[in-house]
């Protein structure tokens, strides 16, 4: 195969592997011994490729810097992500953890508001439609590849004279002499050749 064709195939495989992350789970805040700092953690799993993780202070929509960010690879090629955030304890904390899968243009988020305990918000609709679109894409590509394979096999078989003679023997065995004769009339052969000339 030509290098360019190979690159395209790799890209196709990469896109087909894209997988939605699970709904992130935000836990915390956990106060440290002095109670001045609190730690939040956020986890999500089974996605591909590696996500972007955003911690957002919803009070003023500023981005916060995580204290840890870990990607855990799984044998099936997907990743889990685990991140922690340490912030000074304040009243009215509103924290959001957002997991972005750039390839699927998907952002899943979980938020924490001080009044109530951690509350899963999010873009579940986006998640669902993303999954459906992805599934439809895979199915149509698989069908297309299948049709292509069948077409190629069919063309090869039709061109192989060896196989044609097998087919004739088969028809003779079944005593379908008339049918086999009709199959190999010169007119038929010529029209088949024309057909292939058009396809190729």
Ligand X SMILES: *[C@@H]1O[C@H](CO)[C@@H](O)[C@H](O)[C@H]1NC(C)=O
Chain residues in the site for ligand X (CB under 6 A): 32-34, 36-37, 54, 57-60, 62, 90, 94, 96, 98, 100, 105, 107, 111, 113, 116, 119-121
Cβ burial of 115 (10 Å; 0-12, 13-18, 19+) is: exposed
Task: Tell me the closest approach of the beta carbon of residue 16 to ligand X, in angstroms.
Answer: 20
Q: How far is Cα 200 from Cα 196, in angstroms, rounded to an integer?
A: 6
Question: Which residue, 87 or 171, is less far from ligand X as judged by CB?
Answer: 87
Q: Decide: 78 and 46 in contact? Cβ < 8 Å.
A: yes
Question: Which residue, 32 or 191, is less far from ligand X as judged by CB?
Answer: 32
Task: Tell me the closest approach of the beta carbon of residue 49 to ligand X, in angstroms.
Answer: 14
Cβ burial of 113 (10 Å; 0-12, 13-18, 19+) is: middle
Tell me the residue number closest to ligand X, measured at CB. Answer: 121
Question: Which residue, 113 or 180, is less far from ligand X as judged by CB?
Answer: 113
Question: Which residue, 90 or 160, is less far from ligand X as judged by CB?
Answer: 90
Question: Which residue, 2 or 116, is less far from ligand X as judged by CB?
Answer: 116
Task: Tell me the closest approach of the beta carbon of residue 64 to ligand X, in angstroms.
Answer: 9
Task: Tell me the closest approach of the beta carbon of residue 35 to ligand X, in angstroms.
Answer: 8
User: How are the residues of the chain apportioned to helix, strand and coil, as percentages rounded to the nearest 5?
Assistant: 40, 30, 25
Q: How far is Cα 188 from Cα 97, in angstroms, rounded to an integer?
A: 68
Task: Tell me the closest approach of the beta carbon of residue 29 to ligand X, in angstroms.
Answer: 12
Q: Where are the alpha helices (DSSP H) in the chain?
A: 3-17, 124-159, 161-173, 177-183, 186-199
């Amino acid at each position: 195969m030509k290098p360019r064709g190979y690159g395209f195939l790799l890209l196709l495989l990469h896109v087909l592997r894209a997988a939605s992350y699970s709904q992130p789970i935000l836990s915390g805040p956990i106060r440290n011994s002095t109670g001045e700092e609190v730690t939040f953690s956020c986890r999500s799993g089974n996605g591909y490729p590696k996500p972007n993780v955003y911690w957002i202070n919803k009070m003023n929509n500023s981005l916060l810097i995580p204290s840890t960010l870990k990607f855990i690879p799984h044998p099936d090629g997907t990743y889990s992500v685990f991140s922690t955030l340490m912030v000074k304890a304040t009243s009215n904390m509103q924290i959001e953890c957002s997991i972005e899968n750039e390839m699927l243009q998907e952002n899943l988020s979980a938020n924490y508001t001080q009044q109530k305990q951690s509350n899963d918000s999010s873009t579940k609709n986006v998640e669902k439609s993303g999954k459906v679109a992805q599934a439809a894409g895979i199915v149509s590509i698989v069908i297309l590849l299948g049709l292509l394979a069948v077409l190629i096999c069919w063309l090869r078989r039709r061109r192989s004279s060896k196989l044609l003679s097998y087919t004739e023997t088969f028809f003779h065995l079944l005593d379908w002499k008339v049918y086999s004769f009709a199959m190999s009339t010169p007119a038929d052969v010529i029209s088949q050749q024309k057909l292939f000339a058009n396809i190729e």
